[in-house]
Amino acid sequence: METVQPQPIGFSSEKAQQVLDKHNIDVLIAATPVNVFYTTGMPTLHVAPNPILYVLANQFPTLSLVRRDGKEYAVTWMVYQSTKKWTWVDEVTGTVSPQQTMEAVCNKIAEWGLSDKTIGLESLMPRYQYDFIRQRFPQAIIVDADRAFLDMRLIKTAEEIDRIKKSTRIAEKAILSVIDAAKEGITDNELLQIARRTIIDEGAEGWDHLTMGLGTSDPEAPGLGYTVKRGEINRIDIGVVSKGYISDISREFVVGDLPEGAQEHMDNLIKVQEFLEQNIKPGVNTVQLYKEAKNFGKSLVKRGMVFVTVHSLGLECEEVHLFSPMRSLDIAFEEGMVLDLEVWQSYRNFNLVGIEDCYVIRASGVERISSLDKQIFVR
């Protein structure tokens, strides 16, 4: 049977040409698993059907090159025989060592006549790879290409959006399965097992994160045997990976009666999230909207700080923070971006309590991908 060549998921040679022209880069080199997957389709992610290329990357790295005219080239482990089942890149060289890999990469750059041109590298590229290229091409201009990759990835294709939508649906099913199983005395380990089983049974490859805070326990380090207690606020935050693409959803639940004031607390945070929903549109500046959202939050909450974060979703959960208390990117929102809108505030001794949902920007505003009720679930 003849193998049908795979087609790009999010990558576009036309978009790559525009981005490389914008950043004046003659050849772009992808070295991290996420960017290699994006530019080639090769199964380099940790949730691949067999993540062997990810596991063996220290011995047999997979890299890809994108020329300014959009032409691509890739290098991968020679033993891997299924390249044509995964990638649309026509020319792929097999190697059996990091040395051979870097020789192949540099030989291709020289063959393309780019030895003294501008080469874009990821800041997370392994040091030995950077040094190899730097020493081989002393006349080249080496530039940080992280923003170039981001510019290619921020606007999602219809296929990418569909994958994130499926990931979101599965994450929500996993959250509901945890809430449905919640009862006094059940442990975080038992609830995590339920979430994992649901994710796999629903057809996802795995999870990006399983954050769970029962009562006062640390949500970033679940699995220590903490149990659900009546009247405590519990948080479950799940990111599912579906065909490489990631969602990010969180909800709170209580077994028994809601703590006094919890409903009002959540209502205010939902209002801030809805403020974002109403005001995110193509062309709106991220920095300006962040200031407005913070001020709106302060008008509702008289004590404490409201944490407002908007980050893009894709092959990474926090692909980039468009704005947050930690950092902001001064750009305009664009149609086709997929976002996570999250609003948090500490509540008594229950750590951060809040709301988090997925959205895609359309021409007229945002479309909510999530479907779960926003209120605290009561069991």
Is 6 contained in some domain? no
Which of 153, 170, 190 is where one domain is finished?
153
Query: Would you state the pLDDT for residue 34?
Result: 98
Cβ atoms 207, 240 nearer than 8 A: yes
Query: What would the 3-class secondary structure string for 59-97 be?
Result: CCCCEEEEECCCCEEEEEECCCCCHHHHCCCCCEEEECC
Cβ atoms 199, 174 nearer than 8 A: yes
CA atoms within 13 A on the CB side of 223: 9
Whether residue 249 sits in one domain with residue 289:
yes
Point out which residues pair with 345 in neighbouring strands.
Answer: 353
Q: Which domain holds residue 132?
A: 13-153
Please name the amino acid found at residue 270. Answer: I
In whole angstroms, give the CA distance from residue 340 to residue 342.
6
Alpha helix ranges (H) inside 202-285: 262-279
Whether residue 243 sits in one domain with residue 370:
yes
In whole angstroms, give the CA distance from residue 118 to residue 30.
15
In whole angstroms, give the CA distance from residue 105 to residue 119.
12
Is 42 contained in some domain? yes
Whether residue 205 sits in one domain with residue 231:
yes
Whether residue 76 sits in one domain with residue 183:
no
CB atoms within 10 A of CB 185: 10
Whether residue 90 sits in one domain with residue 32:
yes
CA atoms within 13 A on the CB side of 271: 15
Spans in the chain with pLDDT lower than 70: 1-3
Query: Would you state the pLDDT for residue 3?
Result: 64
Query: Would you state the pLDDT for residue 122?
Result: 98
Whether residue 212 sits in one domain with residue 113:
no
CATH code, domain with 198? 3.90.230.10
Whether residue 363 sits in one domain with residue 217:
yes
Each residue of 300-337: b (16+ CB within 10 Å) or e? ebeeeebbbbbbbbbbbbbbbbbbbeeebbeeebeebb
Query: Would you state the pLDDT for residue 347?
Result: 87
Whether residue 42 sits in one domain with residue 174:
no
Is 1 contained in some domain? no
Query: Would you state the pLDDT for residue 283?
Result: 98
Is 374 contained in some domain? yes
Which of 112, 130, 153 is where one domain is finished?
153
Whether residue 25 sits in one domain with residue 110:
yes
Is 3 contained in some domain? no
CATH code, domain with 111? 3.40.350.10
Is 134 contained in some domain? yes
Which of 153, 169, 195 is where one domain is finished?
153
Is 140 contained in some domain? yes
Whether residue 234 sits in one domain with residue 92:
no
Whether residue 62 sits in one domain with residue 20:
yes
Cβ atoms 149, 11 nearer than 8 A: no
CB atoms within 10 A of CB 171: 32
Whether residue 346 sits in one domain with residue 246:
yes
Is 208 contained in some domain? yes
Q: Domain count of the chain? A: 2
